[in-house]
Amino acid sequence: MSGINDFAFKMGTVNGTGSASANGLLMQAIFRMGIPVTGKNLFPSNIQGLPTWYEIRVSKDGYTARPADVDLVVAINPASYAKDIATVRAGGVVLYDNSAPLDPTLHRNDVTFLGVPFGRMCNEAFVKDRDRTLLRNMMYAGTLCALLALDMAIPEQMLAEKFGKKPKVLEANIKAIRLGHDYAREHFACPLPFHLERMQATDNAILMDGNTAVALGALYAGATVGAWYPITPATGVMEQFKALCEQYRVDPATGLHRYAIMQAEDELAAAGIVIGAGWAGARAFTNTSGPGISLMQEFIGLAYYTDIPAVFVDVQRCGPATGMPTRTQQADLLSLAYASHGDTKHPILFPANPHECFSMTVQAFDLAERFQTPIFVASDLDIGMNDWMVPRLEWDDAYRPDRGKVLDAEELAQLPRFSRYRDVDGDGIAARTLPGVGAKGAYFVRGSGHDQHAAYTEESAPYQEVVDRLARKFAHAAEAVPQPAFHLQDDADIGIVCLGSGDAAVREAADMLREQGIGVNVMRIRGFPFGAAVRAFLDAHERIFVVEQNRDAQLRALLAVELGVPRDAMTPILDYAGLPLTAATVVDGVTHHLVGATA
């Protein structure tokens, strides 16, 4: 890195002071210059006053993974000066607020320090305390525009779009961004050696976070009931769903809602609401994170054992217990795959980015109703809460929901007898009825032992018949869930398996390894249970690495258990530090192991 349209920079600020707006503005402005860009918000579990960071990576080649190091740091928060200054690569730049002198012990000889009196300039230019705090962010944005050759017309246009109805606010923001810009032009050689130049690479792209994309998927799939309990980092899903429903699902004649969003008393109730609604025939979903999944276990088992469709979106966060709620991980894989007591297993979809969050959420509703079972969408904080550059979302108006096998009154009338759990078609999926359809379709849902007629049983054979059918149903799901995505090279004999948000870093790592003469093929798992293609890839490579963001190599464990591949034939590359994966981590993991193997 480090060149035209190929660099990264980072802002170290204080959370709750409005820096997110300025940082988002910068990223979006770069995007509007047609240059591929990624932003990662690294924020504390706190409302106001703690250090927070925002990293922006600019990549003409379209790499979107988190950068391993940064070329420039904006050090605005004295509390994190030491850490921020230390993260800049040698030869990089530290842009800091020199309103107060910098502690000499923080000085580095291998980086350039550019001081701008942001605080003093704000105090001179603005009167209100709030403005002095908020507009300092816009001021450093202006300085960055000058240093990085970001066309000022773009942020100014964006500010006009945002504050068009508030001329005084607009005027203050423009003043601040220009002050920062002009100071840099007067005092520094602009632009820096690494800077921006217009491209045409974002014309068909959007910037969107995964939580919004999930909400859009639920809206377009026709979900009518959303139940949830607020939890970071999943909250945005239901808040966006609510905003979208208010826009698209209000009856124009009456003002009444074609949806029900229920903030439940806890995650248990959220799961219960979803299952009740799914049983009654609605497309229903909940959004949660690891702690919520723990609380929902019993209900998940009930829905599994009673064949009730439900969609659970798990925006994974870091750690057991409360863990690090604002950090990312892929550590719920095992707790999702086998959620609940007794013999249970569940299909999981693994989106890698917001684009897939949209399509896979729609697919999750289809699969839930087709297979009459809980379906999990395993997103994570990095996907869910960061803006990603992805292709524009598209919709086919020919789409119709797959409601699965639901018998209506006419179909019921033609049956000699309705048996809720009888496997007529041999695919493990029995036809269901919805409450209200008619006396002939009535049946009794029970989490206790039941036979194929839904009648209570404590007899071995009828019990086993039902759970064996559920196992057949699960096996059939392997080819119905999203199939793996491959990133292949000629003559590569090393295979890397990854999933979810690790995709960008792993594909970038594959390119870096190729430059080192190491050819690798990448398979990104997109669904569980694993289909035949997954097994074929593992069998086709002599050496397999499994890259995932948890401590215990959970994806490797699933591959070993479900496919029978020897565990030790797959080498784990694990990153469970809580930050989005970098390509360097993957490259280091592979090369370290290869060196170790040849030594």
Q: Where are the alpha helices (DSSP H) in 516-582?
A: 532-540, 554-563
As a whole number of angstroms, the distance between CA 414 and CA 409 comes to 9
Work out which of 443, 485, 584, 593 binds another protein, going by CB under 8 A.
Answer: 443
The residue among 284 and 505 lying less far from another protein, judged by its C-beta, is: 284
Among 195, 249, 422, 487, binds another protein (CB under 8 A): 249
How far is it, in rounded angstroms, from Cα 448 to Cα 557?
31
Nearer to another protein, 323 or 462 (CB): 462
Within residues 289-328, the interface with another protein by CB under 8 A covers 298-299, 302
Contact 564, 557 (CB under 8 A): no
Site membership for another protein, residue 406 (CB under 8 A): no
Distance CA 507, CA 418 (A): 51
Sequence letter at residue 136: R
Tokens matching residue 482 = 């999203």
Peptide linkage before 320 cis (omega within 30 of 0): no
> Does residue 529 have a cis peptide bond before it, meaning omega lies within 30 degrees of 0?
yes
The residue range among 13-21, 163-171, 363-371, 431-439 that interacts with another protein, by the rule CB under 8 A, is 431-439
DSSP code at position 380: E
CB 202 within 8 A of CB 31: yes
Q: Which of 39, 210, 278, 502 binds another protein (CB under 8 A)?
A: 278
422 binds another protein (CB under 8 A): no
Q: Is the distance from CB of 361 to CB of 217 less than 8 angstroms?
A: yes
Which range in 101-109, 248-256, 368-376, 590-598 contacts another protein by CB under 8 A? 248-256
- Indicate which single residue of 230, 343, 395, 413 sits in contact with another protein (rule: CB under 8 A): 395
The count of other CB atoms within 10 Å of the CB of residue 349 is 25
88-97 and 70-75: which strand pairing? parallel
> Rounded to the nearest whole angstrom, what is the least distance from the CB of residue 293 to another protein in the complex?
16
Does 433 sit near another protein (CB under 8 A)?
yes
Residue of the chain from 11, 138, 282, 430 that contacts another protein (CB under 8 A): 282
Helix or strand (DSSP H, E) at 547: strand 543-548
Residue 543's nearest CA partner among 517, 562, 521 is 521
Nearest to 353 by CA among 324, 323, 377: 377
Report if residue 157 touches another protein, rule: CB under 8 A: no
Output 324 or 442, the one with its CB closest to another protein.
Answer: 442
Region 336-365 residues binding another protein, contact defined as CB under 8 A = none
State yes or no: residue 30 binds another protein (CB under 8 A): no
> Which is closer to another protein, CB of 331 or CB of 431?
431
396 binds another protein (CB under 8 A): yes
Q: Cβ of residue 352: shortest distance to another protein, in angstroms?
A: 18
CB nearer another protein, residue 128 or residue 341? 341
Helix or strand (DSSP H, E) at 398: none
Shortest Å distance, C-beta 210 to another protein: 13
Instruction: Select 115 or 438, whichever has its Cβ closest to another protein.
Output: 438
Which of positions 524-583 make contact with another protein (CB under 8 A)? none
State how far the Cα of 338 lies from the Cα of 346, in Å rounded to an integer.
6
Could you tell me the smallest distance in angstroms from the CB atom of residue 393 to another protein? 6
Query: Least Å distance between CB 551 and another protein?
Result: 31
- Can you say whether residue 572 is alpha, beta or left, with left for phi > 0 and alpha for psi between -120 and 50 degrees? beta
Smallest gap from residue 56 Cβ to another protein (A): 17
Q: Please, what is the minimum distance in Å from the beta carbon of residue 275 to another protein?
A: 6
- Beta-carbon contacts of residue 212 (< 8 Å; ≥ 6 apart): 236, 240, 354
SS3 80: helix
What minimum distance in Å lies between the beta carbon of 178 and another protein?
Answer: 24
Tokens 């423009």 found at:
174
Query: Any contact of residue 251 with another protein (CB under 8 A)?
Result: yes
Interface stretch with another protein, choices 287-295, 430-438, 481-489, 501-509 (CB under 8 A): 430-438
Q: How many residues bind another protein (CB under 8 A)?
A: 82
DSSP 256: -
Work out how close the CB of 536 gets to another protein at its nearest, in angstroms, rounded to a whole number: 35
Give min distance, CB of 134 to another protein, in A: 24
Q: Where in 118-220 does DSSP place strands (E)?
A: 205-209
Considering the complex, what minimum distance in angstroms separates the CB of residue 287 from another protein? 15
> What is the longest distance spanned by two Cα atoms in the chain?
88
**At closest approach, how far in Å is the CB of 258 from another protein?**
6
- Which of the residues 199 through 228 are near another protein (CB under 8 A)? 202, 205-208, 216, 219-225, 227
Shortest distance (Å) from residue 23 CB to another protein: 17
- Does 455 help bind another protein (rule: CB under 8 A)? yes
Q: Please provide the DSSP assignment of 416-439 as one string.
A: S---TT--SSSSS---B--TTS-G
Nearest approach, Cβ of 259 to another protein (angstroms)?
Answer: 7
- End-to-end Cα separation, the chain, in angstroms: 30
Is residue 492 a contact residue for another protein (CB under 8 A)?
no
Which 374-393 residues touch another protein, going by CB under 8 A? 392-393
Rounded to the nearest 5°, which phi and psi values hold at 489? -130, 160
Please count the other Cβ atoms lying within 10 Å of the Cβ belonging to residue 100: 11
Q: Give the residue, chosen from 437, 512, 558, 559, that forms a contact with another protein under the rule CB under 8 A.
A: 437
Q: What tokens does 575 get?
A: 């990153």
Q: 454 in the Ramachandran plot: left (φ > 0), alpha (ψ -120 to 50) or beta? A: left
* DSSP single-letter state for residue 21: H
State which of positions 258-277 bind another protein (CB under 8 A). 258-262, 264-266, 268-277
Stretch 456-475 residues interacting with another protein (CB under 8 A)? 456-459, 462
Segment 39 to 98, residues that bind another protein, using CB under 8 A: none
